[in-house]
Amino acid sequence: MSSSPSCRPVLWQWRPAAARISLRFRGRELARPGHDIRLIPPAYVKPFIKRQKNDAADAEAICEAAQRPNMRFVPVKSEETQGAASVFRVRELLIRQRTQAINALRGHLTEYGQVVPQSATNARRLIALVADEYPELPATARASLKVLTATLAQLDDQIETLDAEITRRAKENDVARRLMTIPGIGPLIATAIATLAPPPEMFRKGRDFAAWLGLTPRQHSTGGKQRLGATTKMGERSLRRLLIIGANNVIIKRHCHASARPGTWLARMLERKPPMLVRVALANKMARIVWALMKGGEIYRAPAMAV
């Protein structure tokens, strides 16, 4: 973290308990007196460290990196932005906990001969088996498994409450409403992009935004020979995962989308490429469309079919 006018790192002392305070909180506090705060990703500072790892070497590397004309900085998020993003973090945590509870129920019931397929849609079947539909389940096991079923029901209620809050925010946010016109993007993805994504002015073009999401192939080119590998998986993990889920929804329901009709780009890709590769490629394309809509303030218009 550096101050722009003098390009010297802002150094301060803190107690061990305060050392774990978020850098964004420190950035907001240091911006109050008028400092121009710029956050530099550690990966961009690392090449400027000559030897060893200490405070002096870190400060020198930060100053050197901050003076580079093409250095990329991370904007400091406001308290309102971080507060709006908390609903997605909490929802992800609750979904992970729900998955753990479902897997635990499946594992315990397997010990008694009841095999239930994997999927959150089979959670009601698991709850019914624990309740009273499987009389051979020992009473001692049933009592403990009912704790899991109660936890699962509570998690479902909490996730539904957060989903309703996200839907409400999507209706009130102009950017989210415009993004929902894109096939495969619903209230959850649109609100997440409007909240978690940086301003579109930070990127020169849509490919840069897709690269920030980690949806572009990794390059290992040399000698004029281009070599492309798997996706970089850098940037915001939550947005990348949501866009891939949205692309998967378009592919599953391709009979309902004009962009997947025979002869379109998506239809040709599905004919000759692996399914997962097509999902990531479609998510990449959706990310570029998202950037264009956020940059231009327009709504999505499906391309005209060539006759």
Task: Tell whether the model's pLDDT for residue 55 goes beyond 50.
Answer: yes
Closest among 154, 161, 196 to 176, alpha carbons compared: 196
**For position 132, what pLDDT does the model report?**
77
In terms of domains, do 285 and 199 share one? yes
Question: How many Cβ atoms are within 10 Å of 102's Cβ, its own excluded?
Answer: 21
Indicate whether 304 belongs to any domain: no
Percentage of the chain lying above the pLDDT 90 cut: 43
- Contact predicate 94/158, CB 8 Å: yes
- Name the residue range of residue 132's domain: 80-172
- Contact predicate 232/216, CB 8 Å: yes
How far apart CA 165 and CA 94 sit, in angstroms, is 15
In terms of domains, do 160 and 186 share one? no
SS (H, E, C) 177-207: HHHCCCCCCCHHHHHHHHHHCCCHHHCCCHH
C-alpha angle with apex 196: 37 to 48, nearest 5 degrees?
A: 45
Residue pLDDT, tens place only, 107-141: 998 888 888 888 888 888 888 888 876 778 888 88
- Report the number of distinct structural domains present in the chain: 3
Residue that terminates a domain, selected from 44, 66, 88: 66
Indicate whether 75 belongs to any domain: no
Indicate whether 269 belongs to any domain: yes
C-alpha angle with apex 86: 80 to 89, nearest 5 degrees?
A: 155
**For position 226, what pLDDT does the model report?**
85
Task: Tell whether the model's pLDDT for residue 151 goes beyond 80.
Answer: yes
How far apart CA 229 and CA 231 sit, in angstroms, is 7
Mean pLDDT of 148-159: 93
In terms of domains, do 287 and 189 share one? yes
Does residue 243 sit in helix, strand or coil? helix
Mean pLDDT of 66-83: 86
- Contact predicate 10/35, CB 8 Å: yes
In terms of domains, do 287 and 244 share one? yes
What pTM value is reported for the model? 0.80
In terms of domains, do 96 and 131 share one? yes
In terms of domains, do 214 and 168 share one? no
**For position 14, what pLDDT does the model report?**
41
